A and B are shown apart, each in its own frame.
Chain A
Amino acid sequence: MGQFFYDKQIRRFMNQFVRIFSDMYVEFGKDINGNSVLYRVPCRYADTNRQVAAIMRQNSDNSINAVPAMVVYITKVDYDRARMQEPKFVDNISLRSRANDPLTGNVSSNQGQNFSVNRLMPAPYRLTVNMEIWTSNFDQKLQLWEQISAQFNPDMEIQSTDNYLDWTSLSYILLTGTNWSTRNIPVGSDDPIDVATFTFELPIWITTPAKLLRLGIVQSVVANVYDALGNPSQALIDQTNNLGNRQYFYTNWL
């Protein structure tokens, strides 16, 4: 029987990864008043299929590529054996949720459903992601480089969700390598776009779905209660009590 689960775990990390490099600017010279002309640098995932790429280009080879720009792409996803922990470990957490207002759909201040959540030990992976800076001149590259490189000291935290129960959502980004340029020195008859590459690693966790259970709350305790009348040894053989084969039930309403 086929089972399906998919929680967009890597996809969500990549969304956040793109977000890190979004909203960065470079200076495009000065305007007539001597003020800096700032230019927002777009960042997006690199791989495009041919149809999407053609759509982005108006299906015309006359369209032109804009620089500077930043692109990111995954180069490797490896199992991280060094971070492996007890694979069969199941973590249990009990929680009470706030009730949902049936009229508004918002959570209220009252108690709602109560749950137990079983979480199976996630699998450790190491995600390697490249981020490329595409620039048309050296000054642009230095502007972007300076803004980015100062922030990974020594790393940067990244979250894929803000769910309190998602113990796989928190990771960190390590800057592990850089490739300064795709150009040769001296510059020959190469492409007018220069590409610099940052290589990052993210130790992440890939998890199975959790197991949700109704929270079992103890409502009553049933136990054997023996009355030995202060003498257990005697009570064992006493025909009246006969504790070896009789039980006394005491309830608080008697």
Chain B
Amino acid sequence: MPRLSLYRENHSNDYKWQDNRIRELYTVGGVGINVHKYLGPKDQGQTTDLTQPQYPNQSVQNIQDLLFMENRDRSYEPNVYDLRGHYTIQDVDYNLQQFGLFVNQDTLYITFHTNDMVTRLGRKIIPGDVFELPHLRDYYPLDENLPAALKKFYVVQEATRASEGYAQTWWSHLWRCKVVPMVDGQEYRDILDQPANKSTDTTLRDMMSNYNINLKINDAVVAQANSDVPNSGYSTNSLYILPTADGISPIIAIPGYLTADGAPPNGLPVTVDTAFPLNPQQGQYVLRTDYVPNRLFRYSGTTWVAIQDVNRANITGANTNTQLGSFINNTATVKLTNGATVPSNQTLSNLLKLTPDKLG
């Protein structure tokens, strides 16, 4: 008589019987979970970086960045898989960090029936797959004009066999996923760029992410900062200088650190041009824009006397007067002798990779 043993080296009928009961248990008592299946990194086109190769086929086994070992541009299947899972609902607390409210203890451990999961999904769940828990939809957001309920997304961080999923045969029946709340990041653009519902152009990101409100806050702060300091340096526009030299107009501008904005003293009229006028009046001002930086002159009766070189600059926008404008916010282009036009803004590592001259 052989030894009495429930263990078998293969999936026996005992295993199958138990597996079907567990599947039934999950079907009857589990919660529906929508799975956004990860397909692999998106094709980023031809590349010269050997550590970020272009793969011939999209595959979940591809690795986008072989140096930093990460998949940033992830592709998700547009179809959603409905699985049944089981997890313990828990209370959560908000944690007020620098970034705003985080939900503490919002890490769930969800178990799935392994064979059911593989049958429906075609593979086991892996880290990076995204769950939507329909039973956690929030139908009452603060903005009642939102076109749809707020969905609850989690992303899988770890996936392993569950210890509670081992039956008497020592074979595992359950797949355990550790999930954390999904963020609005580069990795999940495929999901969040989808419309919130069929009747609107509003995307899930527009509705659920704090990105837009962060931008509005940022813009408001910048607008105030721009009002406080519209240009670098100091404004002397409200100050008055007595024209003591000839009684016509001041022969100096108010001195100071970064006070020259090209405006003549006392707000007097100025001619902006690239040449001096032919018949100037004594005390007349001309701002020569062909000088770099622009230069303000005053006509003394016999001579055009330089009053100031403009040194105030717009801080936020692109300009050519500052190193910020000429090196970072540089949008200029350069027309080469071969007729090609290239951006003036070039990374040092690519300087020798400019388009070669046309031959012949």
Q: Which residue of B lies closest to A112 (CB)?
A: B240
Q: How far in angstroms is the closest Cβ of chain B from A89?
A: 20
B224 and A15 within 8 A (CB): yes
A29 and B100 within 8 A (CB): no
Q: Which residue of B lies closest to A197 (CB)?
A: B98
Most A C-beta atoms less than 10 A away, residue of B142, B150, B186, B234: B186
The reply on A1 being an interface residue by CB < 8 A is no
Please name all residues of chain A whose beta carbon is closer than 8 Å to the beta carbon of B268 when the two chains form the complex.
109
Number of inter-chain CB pairs below 8 Å: 227
A136 and B187 within 8 A (CB): yes
- B residues 243-296 near A (Cβ < 8 Å) are 254, 256-257, 259, 266-268
A50 and B101 within 8 A (CB): yes
B218 and A61 within 8 A (CB): no
Please name all residues of chain B whose beta carbon is closer than 8 Å to the beta carbon of A213 when the two chains form the complex.
none
Q: How far in angstroms is the closest Cβ of chain A from B271?
A: 16
The reply on A162 being an interface residue by CB < 8 A is yes
The reply on B197 being an interface residue by CB < 8 A is no
Please name all residues of chain B whose beta carbon is closer than 8 Å to the beta carbon of A47 when the two chains form the complex.
98
0/1 interface trace, chain B 90-108, chain A, CB 8 Å (1 if under): 0010101011111100100
Q: Is the interface of A mostly helix, strand, loop or mixed?
A: mixed
C-alpha gap A136/B73 in the complex (Å): 11
A19 and B209 within 8 A (CB): no
0/1 interface trace, chain A 41-65, chain B, CB 8 Å (1 if under): 0111111101001111111111111
B222 and A57 within 8 A (CB): no
- A residues 1-42 near B (Cβ < 8 Å) are 12, 15-16, 18-19, 22-23, 28-30, 34, 39-40, 42
The reply on A111 being an interface residue by CB < 8 A is yes
The reply on A128 being an interface residue by CB < 8 A is no
Q: How far in angstroms is the closest Cβ of chain B from A128?
A: 15
A50 and B267 within 8 A (CB): no
B214 and A44 within 8 A (CB): yes
The reply on A79 being an interface residue by CB < 8 A is no
Please name all residues of chain B whose beta carbon is closer than 8 Å to the beta carbon of A99 when the two chains form the complex.
240
C-alpha gap A55/B143 in the complex (Å): 9
C-alpha gap A112/B240 in the complex (Å): 8
The reply on B32 being an interface residue by CB < 8 A is no
The reply on B152 being an interface residue by CB < 8 A is yes
Q: How far in angstroms is the closest Cβ of chain B from A50?
A: 6
B256 and A139 within 8 A (CB): no
Q: Which of A90-98, A171-179, A233-241, A245-253 contacts B (4 or more CB under 8 A)?
A: A90-98
0/1 interface trace, chain B 185-226, chain A, CB 8 Å (1 if under): 111010000000000000001001111011101100110111
Q: Which of B14-22, B176-184, B336-344 contacts A (4 or more CB under 8 A)?
A: B176-184
Q: Which residue of A lies closest to B136 (CB)?
A: A62
Assuming the contacts A62-B151, A107-B267, A164-B236, asked whether A16 and B214 have C-beta atoms less than 8 A apart, the reply is no
Please name all residues of chain A whose beta carbon is closer than 8 Å to the beta carbon of B92 when the two chains form the complex.
61
The reply on A201 being an interface residue by CB < 8 A is no
0/1 interface trace, chain A 68-99, chain B, CB 8 Å (1 if under): 11010100000000000000000000011111
The reply on B65 being an interface residue by CB < 8 A is yes
A73 and B186 within 8 A (CB): no
Q: How far in angstroms is the closest Cβ of chain A from B288?
A: 22
B222 and A19 within 8 A (CB): yes
A98 and B266 within 8 A (CB): yes
Please name all residues of chain B whose beta carbon is closer than 8 Å to the beta carbon of A39 when the two chains form the complex.
186
The reply on B228 being an interface residue by CB < 8 A is yes
Please name all residues of chain A whose beta carbon is closer than 8 Å to the beta carbon of B229 when the two chains form the complex.
16, 159-162
Assuming the contacts A58-B143, A160-B229, asked whether A137 and B72 have C-beta atoms less than 8 A apart, the reply is yes
Please name all residues of chain A whose beta carbon is closer than 8 Å to the beta carbon of B106 when the two chains form the complex.
61
18 contacts between A and B (CB under 8 A): A15-B228, A19-B225, A55-B142, A60-B140, A60-B141, A61-B92, A62-B153, A64-B181, A65-B209, A69-B99, A98-B267, A134-B99, A136-B186, A137-B185, A137-B187, A163-B235, A164-B235, A192-B155
Supplied contacts A44-B214, A192-B183, 14 more A-B pairs, CB within 8 Å? A19-B316, A22-B316, A29-B72, A42-B217, A50-B94, A61-B103, A64-B153, A64-B181, A65-B183, A96-B242, A98-B238, A98-B239, A132-B99, A139-B65
Q: Which residues from chain B sit less than 8 Å from chain A, CB to CB?
A: 42, 44-46, 65, 68, 70, 72-73, 92, 94, 96, 98-103, 106, 136-138, 140-143, 146, 150-153, 155, 157-158, 178, 180-187, 189, 205, 208-211, 213-215, 217-218, 221-222, 224-226, 228-242, 254, 256-257, 259, 266-268, 315-316, 328
Q: Closest 9 A-B residue pairs measured CB to CB?
A: A136-B185, A66-B211, A46-B98, A42-B214, A29-B73, A66-B184, A62-B150, A19-B225, A58-B141
